[in-house]
Amino acid sequence: MKVDPIHQFEIRNLIPMTSVGGHDIAFTNSALVMFIIVGAVSALLIGATMRQAVVPGRLQSIAELSYEFIADTLRSSAGNEGMKFFPFVFTLFMFVLFANLIGLIPYSFTVTSQLIVTVTLALLVFFIVVGYGFWKNGLHFLRLFAPTGMPKLMLPVIVPIELLSFLSRPISHSVRLFGNMLAGHITLQVFAGFIIMLSGAGILGWFGAVLPFTMVVMLTALELLVAVVQAYVFVILTCIYLNDAVHPGH
């Protein structure tokens, strides 16, 4: 029996809609999972804030803890001026976190293992930083590329390097989340495949299959950690980039 570890990332058209320029525009399993993510986040937060108690219940604690966690992260890296981006950053965190966690449920689909999704999120952050940076600071925003106290002679070399470093941000921002989720899910699937292959090999194989099975259990725990940590890393990078838009090179 052969197990295809890539099969889990396949995009399937659930409801075909139209086609634009030879490309099918359809409601896919990826879109379905995204709707589920948004629904789950909304249900959690609306449900948690429905009954507001001074001493929070379990659900309300979840909402308050996640609020404080993101608010502190944002405030510590972008300052109080950065707090106007709180709704955006919080939405981003909840979306990525739930995408990662829902992806861990067997037979579901990991939205964040699609490069196009993470690139879209990273480019959204990138364009918000550029747009807000120019709108708020005008041309002063360009000081971001010229570190203060740099000798004039060095500027022709430093500015292009800083510019390229700035342009490379959305790539490393998106590839980091994408790569971690993709690699984790493939590893999980490969080890799960070993169980099936070994258990097809008779009695001895059944005992052998215990090894990859323990591995899968441990990897699942690790993936749970990775799912949360990667959502956090994605958001903390967003905060650092937003900080550049709020105060560029002061």
Partner 1 sequence: MAPVLQAANVAGPSDGTMSDARENGDRDKQHTDEALSARLQRLNEGLGKKRSARRVSESAEADRATTASDYAQGFRLASEFVAGVVVGAGLGWLVDRWFRTAPWGLMIFLLLGFAAGVLNVMRSTGVVAGNALGGHNPGDRKE
Interface contacts to partner 1, rule CB under 8 A: 54, 56, 64, 68, 72-73, 75-77, 144, 147-149, 160-162, 164-165, 167-169, 171-172, 175-176, 179-180, 183, 226, 229, 232-233, 236-237, 240, 243-244, 247-250
* Of 185 and 195, CB closest to partner 1: 185
CB of 206 to partner 1, least distance (A): 31
Helix 115-137 × helix 86-103 angle, to 10°: 170
Q: Closest CB to partner 1 among 42 and 76?
A: 76
Find the shortest distance in angstroms from Cβ 68 to partner 1.
7
**Dihedral sign computed on CA atoms, order 49, 54, 59, 63:** positive
The C-alpha atoms of residue 98 and residue 174 are separated, in whole angstroms, by 17
Residue closer to partner 1 by CB (options 28, 118) is 118
Distances (CA, A) of 35 to 122, 191, 240: 20, 30, 28
Rounded to a whole number of angstroms, the minimum distance from the CB of residue 72 to partner 1 is 6
**SS3 state of residue 200:** coil
Nearer to partner 1, 30 or 180 (CB): 180
Which residues touch 192 (CB under 8 Å, ≥6 apart)?
3, 212, 216
State the Cα–Cα distance between residues 87 and 75, nearest whole angstrom: 13
Task: In angstroms, give the least distance from the CB of 30 to partner 1.
Answer: 23
Nearest to 125 by CA among 3, 245, 249: 245
Cβ distance to partner 1 smaller for residue 38 or 233: 233
Q: Tokens 């429905």 — which residue?
A: 50
Please report how close the Cβ of residue 196 comes to partner 1 at its closest, in angstroms: 26
